[in-house]
Structure 1
Amino acid sequence: MSTLSNSLAATDIATVMHPYTNMRLHEADGPVVIARGEGIHVYDESGKEYIEGLAGLWSVALGFSEKRLADAAYKQMLQLPYYHTFSSKSHEPSIRLADKLVEMTPDNLSRVFFTSSGSEANDTIVKMVWFMNNALGRPKKKKFLSRIKGYHGITVASGSLTGLPINHRDFDLPAIPVRHLTCPHFYRFGEEGEDESAFTARLLAELEAVIAEEGADTIAAFIGEPLIAAGGVLPPPAGYWEGVEKICRANDILIVADEVICGFGRLGTPFGAQKYNFTPDIMTTSKQITSSYMPLAAVIFSDAIYQAIADNTAKIGNFGHGFTASGHPVATAVALENLAIIEERDLIGNAARLEAKFQAGLRSFADHPLVGEARGTGLIGALELVADKPTKKLFDKPGAAGAIANKIGHEEGLIFRSIGDTLALCPPLIVTESDVDEIMRRMGNALERLTPAVKAEGLS
């Protein structure tokens, strides 16, 4: 960590309020000030090198030095640095990107609405669906179904959809009508004597029971990440998504696939819905759409939804929703170049080819005394730390072991994310076999140092 004598760190402490941060600890320890990036590596102000094992925030597909994206931004800056998409205005990059997204996504998705973040996109979806159901004469059909540990953003609406306590506590959330269903994580939520297929059956029975209890005529949509990421990297059990789709179709409930992290190749397929064999009515995309070089997100949805919304705009005169940066020309130009590079370099194929090696590397730590479960899919994975392996007992101070691991990881030159006591990895899609070997070597070093460190802290 940076010392307080460093001028940048001291200025940061004095002026910057950081997201997802214990601010009093931040005041004491100071920030890690990242100065530059190169490929899958970043370097702090002292020159120390790190493998960015979380791709920034699950998002930098092309690494931290792709000149073609900088060139695309510069070229667009010179031609048209900004214009809006309000009131029937448009520009070439947003038109071309919308066409590209429709081409890439499932055939039933044919319309696109741009925002600057996944949170804004999911917030937009809530409003779109409410607007549509009011237009269709279904004013009661407003509730959403989500899952415990699901992550869908941090606005008032998207934060309500999120199923993590830290995103609700003291924010007075949920603030919209939402039911959070059991998290589809067999290791942590499976019951004694229950195998994975029985677990799936129980989750689907719960879904049917909640629909019956609430009334299908009051439920607008089911939203879920194909693989839950920020909640701990939680792949769904076999048959789960196929069952969810069947039940939702039978009850006229829309399916929203939150592909903010899974999308554009993370799981070795273009989108997570394809990995888990279901067809959404609405898809949320962001993060890897631009490799996070520019803020951008897109809601891609069916023509049936569009037609109902369009009819209502004709009736009442407008669609009273949008953002200053919706379809920003520089962001959409960067996204077009980013997606072109992903295709040219077959980075989705790269994720598929490296999946076995990456997942085997993670699972090689399964026998470590502190690792309860090693899990993941494609180029995303996690190690869940436990106090006792046979009983899956959590630590008495949740998050303390993860925080120690995070600090040791930095010392070893590996940045991963500690989600409580789960250590998450999600490297850029440009990783090579040798990069995966080095990631696992540094993770192994961190775990070797973690056991005595946890013991020294008296954690159990």
Structure 2
Amino acid sequence: MPQLLANSPHARDIASVLHPQTNLRKHLEVGPSIITGGEGIWVTDINGKRYMEATAALWCASLGFKSERLAKVAYEAMRTLGYYQIFRHASNEPAIDLCEKLLQIAPVPMSKVLLQCSGSEANDTAVKLVWYHWNAQERPEKRKIISRLSSYHGSTCVAVCLTGKPEYHRGFGLPFDGFLYTDCPHYYRDRLEGESEDAFSTRMADSLEKLILSEGPETIAAFWADPVQGAAGALPPPAGYFEKIQAVLRRYDILLVADEVICGFGRTGRMWGCETYGMVPDIITCAKALSAAMQPISAVLMNDRIFRSMLVQSDRLGSFVHGYTYAGHPVASAVALETLRIYDEMDLVGRVGALEPVFLRAFGALTDHPLVGDFSGIGLIGGVELVTDKATRRAAPASIAARVEYYAREQQGLILRLVGNRVALSPPLIISADEIEEMAARLRGALDATWAELSSNSVEMAL
């Protein structure tokens, strides 16, 4: 470990901070990358170096990394009512106004909104609501939940069981029983020779139905899906996918829960990913861009069917016994409500729709690179597939993907998010057309540097 001044931020971080999603031993050696400021789509580190942020940090900084307007709203809200809870009939005006607004803009008719504090909490809570519903219907055997391989729905003990990535389970004794996983609909990677997107989607739906039948339809409570699968590398679904999946769910009376934590609020070119793909969910979870990441807040929207079941259970049990201390926080709610006003004023959906062709063209052009097999995207979200053989679609190993990330950050001043062999892209929604072009050019520069290194070292790319 390099010698560091005891009072330096790097040394203090190493001594005190435990970092999520981080190799802990490596962190003791290399220390943190400390970000000290932000403006638009740019962030600045402690050394004064500026970076373009290609994934809005954790998919969430939709309005960029600084907002004087939202800061003023938070300040005024804190001066008026810095905190109050929404337990046992208590309420506050910002929470009421926010819930009313969410119901107004919901992609399908919804009955009530339950405010929470994070995407993980929202999905964790939605699982409880699914079970609450089926228990109210006196069908407690409908308890199993199906999500998709390569999905991510949170890190709480239950939400991580929805997450279809084994690395999130190892070491924790997870997942719990009753969580099942069907195929990740990755058309580029998993299609059969000559198989169309529609035929591939049919095969995905058939696979889901076989899983349901093998488990017993009477035991399946719900199916969980994000419209664009973020943890699979910002992977849009193939043509016809959700239409065919929903037909299977309706056949066996299985609830659909749409995880809009990443896709909600304009990311796909519509206000909701559900609108983009014709999804008709019973429950919607949302977070991230709900407050442009400026405050920790999330929401669970439920339709009338779910709420009526909740009334039944509340009558039977005397109360809906669930809640988090900071749910419906007046400051977070006020900031989220102002964020939604900003989206309306800037015509966010229209803006993303206008930028979508630029985004798809700029990053789609990278498919001519020897390290790129495919690009797929919609709105302002998509992923670049890194390969070592275009003909066989052989995925680039982690070592090559890491070099792309290294050159992007160190040479190009571009912060990427790697998911396996995919470069996931979801820039702040305030990005300009010129900045999209520049971001794609910087990614090409990182690809070129990686290719040059591989070529000069005669590296066997299959390693």
Would you say same fold, with TM above 0.5?
yes
CA distance in 1, matches of 2:216, 2:288: 35
SS at match of 2:369: coil
Matching residue's letter, 2:405: N
2:354 maps to 1:353: yes
CA distance in 2, matches of 1:10, 1:256: 44
Of residues 437-446 and 121-130 in structure 1, the stretch that sits farther from structure 2 once superposed is 437-446
CA distance in 2, matches of 1:217, 1:349: 43
Look up the match of 1:11. Answer: 12
Look up the match of 1:407. Answer: 406
Aligned length in residues: 457
Look up the match of 1:62. Answer: 63
Look up the match of 2:289. Answer: 288
Listed as ranges, the gaps of 5+ residues in structure 2 are none
* Mapping for residues 335-354 of structure 1, pairs under 5 Å: 335-354=336-355
CA distance in 1, matches of 2:328, 2:229: 27
TM-superposed deviation, 1:402 = 1.9
TM-superposed deviation, 1:173 = 1.7
TM-superposed deviation, 1:251 = 1.3
Residues 108 and 281 of structure 1 are in contact (CA less than 8 Å); yes or no, is this contact kept in structure 2?
no
2:95 maps to 1:94: yes
* Mapping for residues 394-433 of structure 1, pairs under 5 Å: 394-395=395-396, 398-411=397-410, 412-433=412-433
CA distance in 2, matches of 1:366, 1:321: 49
Change (3 A) 1:369 1:281: same
Look up the match of 1:134. Answer: 135
Listed as ranges, the gaps of 5+ residues in structure 1 are none
Residues 4 and 29 of structure 1 are in contact (CA less than 8 Å); yes or no, is this contact kept in structure 2?
no
Residues 3 and 30 of structure 1 are in contact (CA less than 8 Å); yes or no, is this contact kept in structure 2?
no
Matching residue's letter, 1:272: G
CA distance in 2, matches of 1:265, 1:290: 13
CA distance in 2, matches of 1:90, 1:230: 35
SS at match of 2:431: coil
2:151 maps to 1:150: yes
Residues 236 and 382 of structure 2 are in contact (CA less than 8 Å); yes or no, is this contact kept in structure 1?
no
Change (3 A) 1:420 1:4: farther
Look up the match of 2:434. Answer: 434
TM-superposed deviation, 1:87 = 0.8
TM-superposed deviation, 1:96 = 0.4
CA distance in 1, matches of 2:132, 2:165: 27
Residues 118 and 286 of structure 1 are in contact (CA less than 8 Å); yes or no, is this contact kept in structure 2?
yes
Residues 198 and 241 of structure 2 are in contact (CA less than 8 Å); yes or no, is this contact kept in structure 1?
no
CA distance in 2, matches of 1:375, 1:317: 50
Look up the match of 1:389. Answer: 390
* Mapping for residues 102-181 of structure 1, pairs under 5 Å: 102-181=103-182
TM-superposed deviation, 1:458 = 5.4
Residues 242 and 278 of structure 1 are in contact (CA less than 8 Å); yes or no, is this contact kept in structure 2?
yes
Cα RMSD (Å): 1.5
CA distance in 2, matches of 1:329, 1:139: 36
Matching residue's letter, 2:401: G
Residues 402 and 419 of structure 1 are in contact (CA less than 8 Å); yes or no, is this contact kept in structure 2?
no
Matching residue's letter, 2:124: D
Look up the match of 1:23. Answer: 24
Look up the match of 2:48. Answer: 47
TM-superposed deviation, 1:3 = 8.8
Deviations 1:91-134 (A, max 9, x none): 00100000000001134212111111111111101111112211
Change (3 A) 1:52 1:310: same
CA distance in 1, matches of 2:381, 2:175: 29
Deviations 1:234-284 (A, max 9, x none): 111111101111221221111111000000000010000100112111101
TM-superposed deviation, 1:4 = 4.8
Change (3 A) 1:179 1:336: same
SS at match of 1:323: coil
* Mapping for residues 366-377 of structure 1, pairs under 5 Å: 366-377=367-378
Look up the match of 1:79. Answer: 80
CA distance in 1, matches of 2:84, 2:297: 15
CA distance in 1, matches of 2:108, 2:149: 30
Change (3 A) 1:71 1:438: same
Look up the match of 2:445. Answer: 445
TM-superposed deviation, 1:394 = 2.7
CA distance in 2, matches of 1:128, 1:291: 26
CA distance in 2, matches of 1:410, 1:205: 42
CA distance in 2, matches of 1:343, 1:55: 20
Identity %: 45
Residues 370 and 386 of structure 1 are in contact (CA less than 8 Å); yes or no, is this contact kept in structure 2?
yes
TM-superposed deviation, 1:459 = 4.4
